[in-house]
């Protein structure tokens, strides 16, 4: 279970202070898919970076299953990211000179997944996202956008993380493919018992989530 | 796939760039290796020349230089005392006299044509008949036949040498003198009214050098009424590092009455071109190492900048800095190893011609004494190289290495380059240093990359 309380993040720029995230609090259950919607510059990507421990909050707490994460040191954050968080990006961000399967194996390597089980797990993940073994041997450039995002989802879920953070996962895909990707995320969240936070500005995507949160000027509120 | 394998694989991600980096590195490494080999060859040559030629000090009367000796002869008693100086291992004394035709039954050989040669000298045409030079020595094996002969390597063709302490009326004469006077071992001639027996005949391959007479020092001192006098002394020092201090001690002992010249100084001036080459190779070596490191450093910086997003993604996936850094070090090491392999081959092939070209160019620009040094007839010869005994017997003349002024410069230009394990070890070390330096700045950049900033810019 994800529990966020009173999270604050302020950036100091030449033009003054920008409150990117202001007093954000919310909970999310395992297997739940939560959509965070908001306009560009509303603070949703900053919130995602804080939850993924890519950035440190100025104040507040982030707990997963009762473990406080906001105050972890650099090494602790790296370890947390490798085992408890999966990222899905708008631009897929696969490593170009590694095959689809090797991209998945990379996440397993960083999570210190047992060596003997990595190959099987990577094959399982490829199957979960509907890619054949043949596609798994291809490099990202030889895959379509939808297939690349499937690989990214497989990579994100590979190490059985408790939290999946998806930043505009359908932003670079056509409607039909985007719809399939959201369904995939939805199903993976349920099957893997992971909390999935999807940042999107697409209402149709948001409506497929269990809950919707809206962020505006760094302030988060739940919407019906 | 571990970070090292990924790093090696990444090195071939952009083939054109990889080939470019490897080629540039190979050129820099080839240059540095060829410089290293050339430097090693030059050092070896310098060491060889210094150790073989640099431990003798010549003492002659003040003002005496060249043709007829001149100056007030040195007192043997004072010269003998030089043996007591610290670090002096031997003392060779000699007395040089000119025998005019009125004082000897010998007929001096005639030399047709111009006798000048490269250092000028006598010049003119016609027939030139010099006096006969007689050298008395207490060290026939190391006889200084110097003066104005053409130089050469003396060897006994018949007979034996006299003993160093002999005072007998005996002589070893040059082949030309013997032939012109129809003398052989056992024959006699007169000098200053005394009958001298020929005990040996030598040849040096030079007509001038083969016209001298060598006698025991004591015999010549008596003959020339120069008892207790010597015209030249050669002091041998135990170690080249002590030559300078012994030179100073001799100058102090003999004062202004003697001119003290160490072979070290002469050799040092002759070795100046080689020292220049050594300096050039050292600077080029250091420069090429720095250049190679800089090339790799800039290449790696460019690659890291290009892959900022990828590094951010790896960090987001939970990659520790050490893993990412290891990956990039493996990549830069791959470039360096490939460059080192190609560079090693190139360096070995280039080392010999580069060394020769450097020595040749430096010698040509700094050795203006070539004509003098190589001394044709009329030029100075710095010393004999001792006798090589004839086959079949005879007391061997130990043979002083001497300066071998004739052809000395040519010897300096003959460098032998070789590649040993030390070169390969250097190449390996060089590759590691370049890879480490080349990766260092890139490593710092990797550590500073914050995934949140990189991914926010998406």
Provide, as residue numbers in chain B, all residues whose Cβ is less than 8 Å from the Cβ of A80.
318
Provide, as residue numbers in chain A, all residues whose Cβ is less than 8 Å from the Cβ of B452.
49, 54-55
Question: Is the pTM higher than 0.80?
Answer: no
Query: Choosing among A18, A21, A81, A93, which should be mutated to test the B contact, i.e. which has the most B CBs within 10 A?
Result: A93
Residue B208 has pLDDT above 80, yes or no: no
- Over residues B4-19, the mean pLDDT reads 90
pLDDT of residue B350: 83
> Which tokens sit at B390?
């004839």
Q: pLDDT tens across B104-138, in order?
A: 888 888 765 444 443 444 444 555 566 788 888 88
Query: Choosing among A11, A20, A46, A49, which should be mutated to test the B contact, i.e. which has the most B CBs within 10 A?
Result: A49
> Which tokens sit at B445?
């950049």
Interface of A with B (CB under 8 A): 45-46, 49, 52, 54-55, 75, 78-83, 85, 87, 89-91, 93, 95-98, 102, 105-107, 109-111, 155, 167
B398 or A41: whose pLDDT is higher? A41
Percentage of chain B lying above the pLDDT 90 cut = 12
Provide, as residue numbers in chain A, all residues whose Cβ is less than 8 Å from the Cβ of B14.
none
Distance CA B79, CA B407 (A): 31
Chain A touched by B456 (CB under 8 Å): yes
Distance CA A40, CA B28 (A): 51
CA closest to B309 among chain A residues: A93
pLDDT of residue A63: 92
Distance CA A14, CA A7 (A): 23
Are B109 and B115 spatial neighbours (Cβ–Cβ below 8 Å)? no
Provide, as residue numbers in chain A, all residues whose Cβ is less than 8 Å from the Cβ of B303.
none
Residue B317 has pLDDT above 60, yes or no: yes
- Over residues B161-169, the mean pLDDT reads 88
CA closest to B454 among chain A residues: A54
Residue B368 has pLDDT above 70, yes or no: no
- Which whole-number Å values give the CA distances from B125 to B83, B110, B143, B332, B377, in the listed order? 46, 12, 32, 73, 14
CA distance B351 to chain A (A): 40
Q: Say which of A78, A91, A97 has its CB closest to residue B458.
A: A91
Helix (H) or strand (E) holding A205: helix A203-207
Q: Name the 3-class secondary structure at B87.
A: coil
CA distance B340 to chain A (A): 26
Are A80 and A53 spatial neighbours (Cβ–Cβ below 8 Å)? yes
Bridge-based pairing state of the strands A59-64 and A67-68? antiparallel
Query: Residue B375, by phi and psi: left (phi above 0), alpha (psi -120 to 50) or beta?
Result: left
Residue B143 has pLDDT above 80, yes or no: no
> Which tokens sit at B219?
């015999």
Contacts of B411 (CB under 8 A, 6+ apart): B49, B404
CA distance B12 to chain A (A): 10
pLDDT of residue B1: 67
Provide, as residue numbers in chain A, all residues whose Cβ is less than 8 Å from the Cβ of B1.
98, 102, 105-106, 109
Contact A110 B317 (CB under 8 A): yes
Contact A82 B310 (CB under 8 A): no
The DSSP string of B38-52 is: HHHHHHHHHHHHHHH
Q: What is the distance between the terminal CA atoms of chain A, rounded to a whole angstrom? A: 21
pLDDT of residue A10: 92
Query: Choosing among B318, B331, B334, B458, which should be mutated to test the A contact, i.e. which has the most A CBs within 10 A?
Result: B318
Q: Say which of A45, A89, A110 has its CB closest to residue B319.
A: A110
pLDDT of residue A132: 93
Q: Name the 3-class secondary structure at B452.
A: helix
Q: Say which of A45, A55, A82 has its CB closest to residue B318.
A: A82
Are B153 and B203 spatial neighbours (Cβ–Cβ below 8 Å)? no
Distance CA A136, CA A124 (A): 11
Distance CA B7, CA B304 (A): 12
Distance CA A76, CA B283 (A): 48
Q: Which band of pLDDT confidence, cut at 50, 70 and 90, is reported for residue B146? A: very low
Q: pLDDT tens across A22-33, in order?
A: 999 999 999 999
Distance CA B432, CA B333 (A): 7
Bridge-based pairing state of the strands A211-216 and A219-223? antiparallel
Q: Which band of pLDDT confidence, cut at 50, 70 and 90, is reported for residue B314? A: very high
pLDDT of residue B61: 87
For the sheet with A219-223, list strands across it.
A85-88, A163-167, A195-200, A33-37, A211-216, A219-223
**Which 353-392 residues of chain B touch chain A by CB within 8 A?**
none
Neighbours of B423 (CB within 10 A): 20
Provide, as residue numbers in chain A, all residues whose Cβ is less than 8 Å from the Cβ of B319.
78, 82, 110
Distance CA A179, CA A146 (A): 10
Residue A37 has pLDDT above 50, yes or no: yes
Q: Say which of A52, A79, A91 has its CB closest to residue B316.
A: A52
Contacts of A67 (CB under 8 A, 6+ apart): none
CA distance A222 to chain B (A): 24
- Over residues B194-201, the mean pLDDT reads 92
Q: Which band of pLDDT confidence, cut at 50, 70 and 90, is reported for residue B147? A: very low
CB-defined contacts A:B, below 8 A: 71
Query: Choosing among A50, A84, A95, which should be mutated to test the B contact, i.e. which has the most B CBs within 10 A?
Result: A95
Provide, as residue numbers in chain B, all residues whose Cβ is less than 8 Å from the Cβ of A93.
309-310, 313, 455
Distance CA B298, CA A72 (A): 35
Bridge-based pairing state of the strands A195-200 and A163-167? parallel
Helix (H) or strand (E) holding A28: strand A16-28
Contact B452 A55 (CB under 8 A): yes
Maximum mean pLDDT: which of B214-223, B269-278, B379-388, B390-399? B214-223
ipTM entry: 0.92
Q: Which band of pLDDT confidence, cut at 50, 70 and 90, is reported for residue B405? A: very low
Residue A72 has pLDDT above 60, yes or no: yes
Are B384 and B154 spatial neighbours (Cβ–Cβ below 8 Å)? yes
Are B169 and B219 spatial neighbours (Cβ–Cβ below 8 Å)? yes
- Residue B234 phi, psi dihedral angles, 5° rounding: -120, 120
CA A163 to chain centre: 7
Residues B148, B154, B160, B162: is their CA dihedral positive or negative?
Answer: positive
Are A59 and A37 spatial neighbours (Cβ–Cβ below 8 Å)? no
In DSSP terms, A5 is beta-bridged to A61
Contacts of B114 (CB under 8 A, 6+ apart): B122, B123, B124, B125
Q: Count Cα atoms within 13 angstroms, Cβ side, for B38.
A: 32
Q: Say which of A45, A54, A107 has its CB closest to residue B451.
A: A54
Radius of gyration of chain B (CA): 33
Query: Choosing among B316, B319, B330, B454, which should be mutated to test the A contact, i.e. which has the most A CBs within 10 A?
Result: B316
Distance CA B394, CA B47 (A): 33
Contact B320 A46 (CB under 8 A): no
Contacts of B320 (CB under 8 A, 6+ apart): A75, A78, A110
pLDDT of residue B366: 45
Strand ranges, E, within B140-268: 155-159, 170-174, 188-191, 194-203, 213-216, 229-230, 232-237, 258-262
Are A164 and A197 spatial neighbours (Cβ–Cβ below 8 Å)? yes
- DSSP annotation of B69: -
Neighbours of B293 (CB within 10 A): 22
Distance CA B433, CA B84 (A): 53
Residue B229 has pLDDT above 70, yes or no: yes
Mean pLDDT of chain A: 90
CA-based nearest residue to A170, from A154, A153, A192? A153
Q: pLDDT tens across B423-458, in order?
A: 777 777 877 777 777 778 888 888 888 888 777 655
Q: Which band of pLDDT confidence, cut at 50, 70 and 90, is reported for residue A107? A: very high
Chain A touched by B316 (CB under 8 Å): yes
């Amino acid at each position: 279970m994800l529990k966020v309380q009173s999270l604050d993040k302020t950036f100091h720029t030449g033009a003054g202070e920008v409150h990117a995230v202001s007093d954000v609090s919310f909970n999310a259950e395992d297997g739940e898919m939560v959509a965070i919607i908001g306009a560009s510059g509303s603070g949703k990507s900053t919130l995602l970076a804080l939850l993924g421990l890519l950035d440190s909050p100025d104040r507040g707490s982030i707990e997963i299953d009762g473990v406080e994460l906001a105050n972890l040191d650099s090494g602790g954050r790296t370890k947390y990211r490798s085992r408890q968080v999966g990222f899905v990006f708008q631009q897929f961000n696969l490593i170009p000179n590694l095959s689809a399967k090797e991209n998945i194996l990379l996440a397993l390597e960083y999570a210190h997944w047992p060596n003997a089980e990595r190959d099987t797990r990577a094959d399982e993940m490829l199957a979960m996202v509907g890619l054949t073994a043949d596609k798994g041997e291809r490099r990202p450039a030889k895959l379509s956008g939808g297939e690349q995002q499937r690989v990214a989802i497989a990579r994100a879920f590979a190490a059985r993380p408790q939290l999946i953070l998806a930043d505009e996962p359908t932003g670079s895909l056509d409607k039909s493919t985007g719809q399939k990707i959201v369904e995939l995320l939805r199903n993976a969240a349920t099957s893997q018992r992971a909390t999935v936070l999807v940042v999107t500005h697409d209402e149709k995507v948001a409506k497929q989530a269990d809950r919707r949160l809206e962020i505006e000027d760094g302030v988060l509120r739940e919407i019906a | 796939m571990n970070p090292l394998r990924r790093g090696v694989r990444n090195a071939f991600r952009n083939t054109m760039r990889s080939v470019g980096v490897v080629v540039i590195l190979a050129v820099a490494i080839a240059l540095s290796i060829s410089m290293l080999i050339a430097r090693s060859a030059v050092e070896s040559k310098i060491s060889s020349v210094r150790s073989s030629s640099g431990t003798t000090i010549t003492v002659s009367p003040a003002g005496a230089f060249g043709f007829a000796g001149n100056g007030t002869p040195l007192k043997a008693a004072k010269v003998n005392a030089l043996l007591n100086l610290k670090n002096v291992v031997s003392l060779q004394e000699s007395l040089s006299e000119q025998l005019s035709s009125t004082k000897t039954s010998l007929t001096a050989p005639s030399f047709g044509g111009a006798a000048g040669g490269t250092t000028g000298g006598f010049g003119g045409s016609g027939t030139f008949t010099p006096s006969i030079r007689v050298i008395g020595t207490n060290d026939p094996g190391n006889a200084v036949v110097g003066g104005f002969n053409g130089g050469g390597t003396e060897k006994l063709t018949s007979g034996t040498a006299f003993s160093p302490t002999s005072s007998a009326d005996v002589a070893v004469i040059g082949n030309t003198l013997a032939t012109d006077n129809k003398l052989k071992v056992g024959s006699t001639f007169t000098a200053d009214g005394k009958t001298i027996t020929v005990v040996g005949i030598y040849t040096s391959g030079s007509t001038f050098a083969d016209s001298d007479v060598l006698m025991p020092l004591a015999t010549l001192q008596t003959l020339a009424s120069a008892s207790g006098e010597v015209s030249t002394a050669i002091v041998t020092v135990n170690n080249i590092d002590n030559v300078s201090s012994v030179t100073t001690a001799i100058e102090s002992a003999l004062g202004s009455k003697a001119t003290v010249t160490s072979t070290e100084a002469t050799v040092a001036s002759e070795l100046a071109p080689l020292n220049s080459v050594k300096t050039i190779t050292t600077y080029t070596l250091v420069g090429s190492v720095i250049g190679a490191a800089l090339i790799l450093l800039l290449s790696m910086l460019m690659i890291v900048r290009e892959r900022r997003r990828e590094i951010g993604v790896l960090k987001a996936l939970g990659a520790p800095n050490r893993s990412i850094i290891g990956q990039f070090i493996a990549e830069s090491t791959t470039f360096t190893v490939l460059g080192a392999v190609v560079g090693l081959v190139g360096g070995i092939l280039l080392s010999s011609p580069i060394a020769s070209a450097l020595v040749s160019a430096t010698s040509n620009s700094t050795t203006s004494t070539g004509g003098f040094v190589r001394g044709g007839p009329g030029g100075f010869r710095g010393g004999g190289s001792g006798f090589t005994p004839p086959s079949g017997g005879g007391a061997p003349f130990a043979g002083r290495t001497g300066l071998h002024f004739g052809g000395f410069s040519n010897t300096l230009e003959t460098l032998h380059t070789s590649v040993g394990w030390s070169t390969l070890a250097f190449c390996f070390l060089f590759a590691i240093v370049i890879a480490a330096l080349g990766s260092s700045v890139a490593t710092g950049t990797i550590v500073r990359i914050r995934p949140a900033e990189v991914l926010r810019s998406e």
